Amino acid sequence: MKAARIFYDRMDFPDCAIVEMVIWAVPSPVEGSAHGLKYSLFYGYPGRRLIGYDNERGKGDHRHIDGREEAYSFTTPEGLVADFLADIRRMRGEP
């Protein structure tokens, strides 16, 4: 089995901010992660990431928020997307 993209979504805000989310099913866990998904979630502006969630090989599940990198406790794909969108709402000052 090769990696298969199972989720993709992109949103463009009026202020030119971008949200792009991609999740792939992979045949074996990415080094550092205990699940069979590879993901990359981005929020920011062209050339400037403000929030990112990913599980880069060797680093495992983690997130980037305004220049800081911290571990992330992955539960489910739905939880991942919900946590990511909640961080975006907080950064944008939305309820």
Tokens of 22: 């991609």
Which residues, including other chains, have CB under 8 Å from residue 43's CB and lie 6 or more apart?
Answer: 17, 18, 19, 49, 50, 51, 52, 84, 87, 88, 91
Per-residue pLDDT of the chain (95 residues; tens, 9 = 90+): 789 999 999 999 999 999 999 999 999 999 999 999 999 999 999 999 999 999 988 899 999 998 999 999 999 999 999 999 999 999 999 98
Question: 């929030």: which residue's tokens?
Answer: 51
pLDDT, tens digit, 9 for 90 and up, residues 44-58: 999 999 999 999 888
Size of the chain in residues? 95
In eight-state DSSP terms, residue 30 is: P
pLDDT, tens digit, 9 for 90 and up, residues 27-38: 999 999 999 999
Task: Record the pTM.
Answer: 0.94
Phi, psi dihedral angles at 22 (to 5 degrees): -135, 130
